[in-house]
Amino acid sequence: MKDLKLMSDEELVVVYARGNNSAFDVLLSRHQSSVYSYIYFIVRNREQAEDIFQDTFVKAITTIKQGKYTENGKFRAWINRIAHNLIIDTFRQEKNDQTISNEEYGVDLFNNQKFSDGTVEDEMIKSQILLDVKKLINHLPENQKEVLAMRYYQDLSFKEIADITGVSINTALGRMRYAILNMRRLADGKKMILTMD
């Protein structure tokens, strides 16, 4: 048998469905970082993100073990779709009960010192710009935040984003366009938010 780490996602699903639990471990290690980052970017709460992340992979395990996973060559899009649906379910449950604080960040995705090699002054300027961008993003409608997260943090194509969110490519592109326009308006002090659905 071929080394598990050399197998495609689809091959690993088949091997896992046949009883090799190590195959799922490889799938998990391949996708856990991007799935968790996506979830956390949307929910902004570490505990909640961890719960949704766990639920995402439990649902994936259950679906595969029950033989309900349909092989279509897009495991990554499929697992992100599960996460997306669980996030929506969470927001629906909490819509009227709770708001999520933007101050509860444990990890700052915008301001990571590991990615800098400028002067202290450059870093201070960059840091302020990124904080301002983060504040702008927090004012966007959820569907626009979501497209930004998938595009820039998960490096997904607009086709993959469309598949995961269940919209057309044009709608995904439109949401990105409106997100950028809204960020510009907010940066200019014009508070009107454009929406598209």
The full length of the chain comes to: 197
Mean pLDDT of all residues belonging to the chain? 80
Type of residue found at 61? I
Residue pLDDT, tens place only, 103-150: 444 544 444 444 445 556 666 676 676 677 777 788 889 898 888 888
DSSP letter at 185 equals H
The answer to whether 4-94 and 113-187 have equal CATH topology is no
User: What is the per-residue pLDDT across 36-51, written as a single tens digit (0 to 9) for each?
Assistant: 999 998 888 899 999 9
Residue 122 or 67, more confident: 67
Query: What is the reported pLDDT for 99?
Result: 45
3-state helix, strand, coil in the chain (%, to 5): 70, 0, 30
**CATH for 4-94, among 1.10.10.10, 1.20.1260.10, 3.30.70.360, 1.10.1740.10?**
1.10.1740.10
Residue ranges covered by each domain of the chain: 4-94, 113-187
What's the CATH fold of domain 113-187? Arc Repressor Mutant, subunit A (1.10.10)
Q: How far apart are CA 40 and CA 20, in angstroms?
A: 30
* Distance, CA of 14 to CA of 26 (rounded, Å): 13
Tens of pLDDT, residue by residue over 172-190, are: 988 988 888 888 787 777 6
